Amino acid sequence: MSAKPLRDMGHLHARRRQARRHRHLRRVDVGLAVLIAAAALLLAPGVAIVAVIALVVLAVCLVSFAFERWRSRRG
């Protein structure tokens, strides 16, 4: 009887570890997007071009988030 709760706890720890990893990846994606957008604003001559580039970077991050959520739900 005591072996089953230990197995359940191991599974729970694995799920929590995976959730922490996904949260970390999201933070890295958002951080990179902000960093690239800030660098583009400082370095680019035209603000309109920078806005377009920043929107593209943010769109790529959103696609990355969606892919990670889809992948985590699949398996």
Local confidence band at 7 (pLDDT 50, 70, 90 cut-offs): low
Of 63, 57, 14, the residue nearest 36 (C-alpha): 57
Range(s) of the domain holding residue 19:
3-74
Specify the pLDDT at position 23. Answer: 76
- pLDDT 10s digits, 54-63: 888 888 888 8
Specify the pLDDT at position 1. Answer: 46
Q: Tell me the backbone φ, ψ of residue 71, rounded to 5 degrees.
A: -65, -40
Average pLDDT over residues 22-46: 80
Q: How far apart are CA 40 and CA 58, in angstroms?
A: 13
Q: How far apart are CA 31 and CA 1, in angstroms?
A: 46
| Domains identified in the chain, total number | 1
